[in-house]
A and B are shown apart, each in its own frame.
Chain A
């Protein structure tokens, strides 16, 4: 397949992009401040709330939302459902960027950052730690994604030899690229298994890893949809509605399984009474389940809804919101009663997150404008997308 790349590297400056650059630069300042003066100076974290905004948003939510990468990869590269291929590269890109941000966020959050490499060494007993598994998996998976992406990079950076090397690596990478996220998406849930008796029983469950895994899987299609719609808007393109519509249908099935398991789990642990007792916890839980799972699941299930851009986007927003709320609930709502104390993030904490997102947006723009990531326009309009020939283009 032939690619046409424009001459030289391009990066269009717009007002928005200048703004994002500014946000990023401020965040860099904040990050330096944090690394030099420590967590106490740069955050409102405290002994009651050792984990806060960065872990919740930059790590837990970041990883979950980057789940679009592996769920799409699973469909496209493992199951060879080529009908989903048009969105695969974009999903990989956003996922990779997401994971890089997660790693930066994690680095910001560890207090003795010069020791960040320690967990790569295996000390007696350290492998029992859930975090050990999470750390290894996330790091490896980020590497896997970078390598996968290498194949795209070397389309443009003309080196057929390197491109061949990378392509040869792809099949095992695809498999690793699904195994690793499966492990750590679930392990992020396992992290909170230790909070038995403290995390509110609406969320605590020995099956937390399964719930985290499933929700990261079904949030994938919703995230891909949202990225697609944003990219479409930004680059004046059409959304890949037929592809997305099928994708979210898969998502809806997973949501259904998730919901059923959740209900069985609650019933098994006798928590239905708590579910409707009107407490803050129960209300937020209901909001998360009804607004973030049941409603979008039904919307995705109705063909007319999921085939319209509006319906698709609305349901996706709900799904993503539901998963965000779920992670927030686990970190904050569910732990509040047991932890006591008070925590509200400092502006610097928000700033770092904002800066990281700005960085991601800028990187995304640069990469889709210089590498073949979004599908070529001619395949897009209505009807069945071609299953045999997916080609990508450089936008701009």
Chain B
């Protein structure tokens, strides 16, 4: 505008004399004054708003990226995940995962009711490239408990921690770090370092028994197929979207909760520890476990002590699982404590609830729960050890979103099973069950694609989790299973002992009380939208494999 014109004119003059220079400066001064009075000194403003009046400060696109999309809603009181809005770049990865892979976002009608629908799986936290979404940080609570001289802090570690924790310290995915992990936990000050795998074996004992009872028709109101119940994200998904199928879900608690209930009863009694002093911490690959631990019904130990010693005593017995940390949070604790993780010696779990079998180890991979259950069910039905092909049940291993197998068990006929990972893909199986056309006896569901080993609390990468990483962690789990002394849950000496000394037998009255649970329909929280038949948005990520390969 004005100023530029003057400058141009001046520059056009071949020779800038003193006179023309002064003229130009005076002109510039006047134009400048006029410009600043009019609030306008920038060229493009004329075109934009006209009349020489325009705010220039809004013509800044800021750090606005070229491609932006929305993101998932997260309730600020969500017990599992939270978001630092300052880091969000609206890339939409969380939405992608939540909608396409988990079929949660976008699968309920608007307006919403009084809940921000979330199955707490934390897959969005793995997908988020900036780390804006992360687990709700509970490390402070643990540090506080560890400092309290009146507390006895026990810790359990889930199967898939040990194949992923090393990644946080520069080791390749799948590195087996059980011994170092136990050593690190001791150095952090935990009073007893125990293994969730023990509880996984316990789960198999209960779940296989339940399955057989269902097949035999001994459990009225509990139809086939039986659904697994150890993935809390899946359980909540079922409560939201398939509440009518809840009777199919095994009444067994997840290993985490079985462990919690047992540690504050059996373990406390055995070791003569006041259950009121026990703080039960769990290290999980999963953000939904934080939610699970807070479910109102997960206070079985308190009820146990109420019966035994009265409400006054029991009121100070806290939840079965008090604090849940993710793998990432554990890594953070270890780093904060300046423990040189890779150089730690290998140490062993503490006794009583520290031993496990290969069947428990493979809980960490999709298909693992099913495989372990089949091994033990085979033994329960036939009284014999399963044949070798049942110890390497290939069809239900791997990263396909839906896998099937049929197993012949003498005395029970052909047992048909399915394994699903990722909730969107699972809908195919669920819809078949809902239609009453299910050929299966037992179906495993894992909320997270890959199963626990790539749960929402596992170490993350700056790009969405690659199947390569998943495969390595899985392979490491199966390798451990293959070399383990005991392969089937019923072989675990600690398990035999806990039944002998405490529970009696699977699904005994005490076991029902401490190891089994019930579910709540969440149908009133949403009005579900059924996806169209053709639409399979997860396919591009995890193609299904619905043809049985046996």
Residues of A within 8 A of B (CB): 121, 123-124
Q: Is B312 in the interface zone, CB < 8 Å from A?
A: no
Could you say which residues of chain A place their CB within 8 Å of the CB of B37? 121
Q: Is B107 positioned at the interface, with any CB of A under 8 Å from its CB? A: no
Q: Which residues on B sit within 8 Å (CB–CB) of A123?
A: 53
**Which residues does chain A contribute within 8 Å of B140, judged by CB atoms?**
none
B148 at the interface (CB under 8 A from A): no
The contact sample of 4 A-B pairs, CB cut-off 8 A, is A121-B37, A123-B53, A124-B51, A124-B53
**Chain B's nearest CB lies how many Å from the CB of A122?**
11
In the complex, what distance in Å separates the CA atom of A123 from the CA atom of B53?
10
Q: Which residue of B lies closest to A118 (CB)?
A: B37
Rounded to whole Å, the gap between the CB of B315 and the closest CB of chain A is: 41
Alpha-carbon separation in the docked complex, A123 to B40 (Å): 13
A121 CA / B38 CA spacing, docked (Å): 10
**Ranked 4 nearest A-B pairs via Cβ:** A121-B37, A124-B51, A123-B53, A124-B53
* Residues from chain A with Cβ under 8 Å of B51 in the complex: 124
How distant is the Cα of A121 from the Cα of B51 in the complex, in angstroms? 16
Alpha-carbon gap, A121 to B33, bound state (A): 13
Q: For window 46-84 of chain B, which residues contact chain A by CB distance below 8 Å?
A: 51, 53
Chain B residue nearest to A125 (CB atoms) is: B53
CB-defined contacts of B53 to chain A, threshold 8 Å: 123-124
A123 and B51 CA atoms in complex are apart in Å by: 11
The smallest beta-carbon distance between B254 and chain A, in angstroms, is: 47
Residues of B close to A124: CB separation below 8 A: 51, 53
In the assembly, what is the distance between CA of A312 and CA of B53, in Å? 56
Main secondary structure on B side of the interface with A: loop
Q: Chain B: which residue is nearest A121 at the CB level?
A: B37
Q: How far, in whole Å, are A121 and B37 apart by their CA atoms in the complex?
A: 9
CB nearest to B37 among chain A residues = A121
Closest to B52 in A: A124
Which residues of chain B in 22-58 are interfacial with respect to chain A, using CB atoms and an 8 Å cutoff? Answer: 37, 51, 53
1/0 contact string of B280-302 vs chain A (CB within 8 Å): 00000000000000000000000
Mask for B152-193, Cβ within 8 A of A = 1, else 0? 000000000000000000000000000000000000000000
* In the bound complex, CA of A134 to CA of B164 (Å): 72
* A121 CA / B53 CA spacing, docked (Å): 14
For residue A118, give the distance in angstroms from its CB to the closest CB of chain B. 8
Q: How far is the CA of A124 from the CA of B37 in the complex (A)?
A: 13
Instruction: Tell me how far the C-beta of B39 lies from the nearest C-beta in chain A, rounded to whole angstroms.
Output: 8
Closest to A124 in B: B51
Closest Cβ of chain A: how far from B53's Cβ, in Å? 7
Q: Return the chain A residue nearest B51 by Cβ.
A: A124
CB distance from A115 to the nearest CB of B (A): 10
Query: CA–CA, A316 to B543, complex, Å?
Result: 90
A260 CA to B305 CA in the complex, in Å? 79
- Give the distance to chain B from A123, nearest Cβ to Cβ, in Å: 7
* A123 vs B37: C-alpha distance when bound (angstroms): 10
When distances are taken between beta carbons in the complex, the residues of chain B under 8 Å from A121 are: 37
Minimum C-beta distance from A212 to chain B (A): 32
Bound CA span A77–B68, Å: 71
CB distance from A336 to the nearest CB of B (A): 30
Report the minimum CB–CB distance from B411 to chain A (whole Å). Answer: 75
Chain B residue at minimum C-beta to C-beta distance from A117: B37
Q: From residue A120, how far is it (CB to closest CB) to chain B in Å? A: 11
Distance, CA A176 to CA B53, complexed state (A): 34
CA separation between A123 and B39, bound complex, in Å? Answer: 10
Cα distance, A123 to B54, chains bound together (Å)? 13
State in angstroms the CA–CA spacing of A124 and B39 once bound together: 12
The minimal Cβ–Cβ distance linking A51 to chain B, given in whole angstroms, is: 24
Complex Cα–Cα for A124 and B51 (A): 9
Cα distance A85–B51 in the bound complex, in angstroms = 53
Q: How far is the CB of A223 from chain B (nearest CB, A)?
A: 40
Report the bound CA distance from A124 to B52 in whole Å: 11
In the complex, the chain B residue whose C-beta lies closest to that of A123 is: B53
B535 to chain A, nearest CB (A): 47
Tell me the smallest distance from the CB of A125 to a CB of chain B, in Å.
10
Q: Using a CB-CB cutoff of 8 Å, which residues 94-130 of chain B contact chain A?
A: none
Docked Cα-Cα span, A124 to B53, in Å, equals 10
B334 CB to nearest A CB, Å: 44
* B230 CB → nearest A CB, Å: 50
Q: Which residue of A lies closest to B38 (CB)?
A: A123
Complex: A220 Cα to B37 Cα, angstroms? 39
| Chain B nearest Cβ from A285, distance in angstroms | 42
Rounded to whole Å, the gap between the CB of A121 and the closest CB of chain B is 6
* B90 CB → nearest A CB, Å: 27
Contact with A along B522-548 (1 / 0, CB 8 A): 000000000000000000000000000
Bound-state Cα–Cα, A121 to B36, Å: 12
B37 to chain A, nearest CB (A): 6
Q: How far is the CB of B30 from chain A (nearest CB, A)?
A: 16
B142 → chain A, closest Cβ, in Å? 39
The docked-state distance in angstroms from the alpha carbon of A123 to that of B52 is 11
Kindly provide the distance from the CB of A58 to the nearest chain B CB, expressed in whole angstroms.
28
Q: How far is the CA of A121 from the CA of B39 in the complex (A)?
A: 12
A124 to chain B, nearest CB (A): 7
- Complex Cα spacing A63 to B53, Å: 34
Least Cβ–Cβ distance between A203 and chain B, in angstroms: 35
Find the A residue at minimum CB distance from B39.
A123
Q: How far is the CA of A121 from the CA of B34 in the complex (A)?
A: 12
**Bound CA span A123–B38, Å:** 8
Nearest Cβ in chain A — how far from B414, in angstroms?
A: 70
In the complex, what distance in Å separates the CA atom of A68 from the CA atom of B494? 98
| Nearest-Cβ distance from residue B134 to partner chain A, whole angstroms | 32
Q: How far is the CB of A349 from chain B (nearest CB, A)?
A: 30
A368 to B248, CA, bound (A): 99
Closest Cβ–Cβ distance, residue B45 to chain A (whole Å): 15
Q: How far is the CB of A112 from chain B (nearest CB, A)?
A: 12
Q: Report the Cα distance A191→B51, complex, angstroms.
A: 28
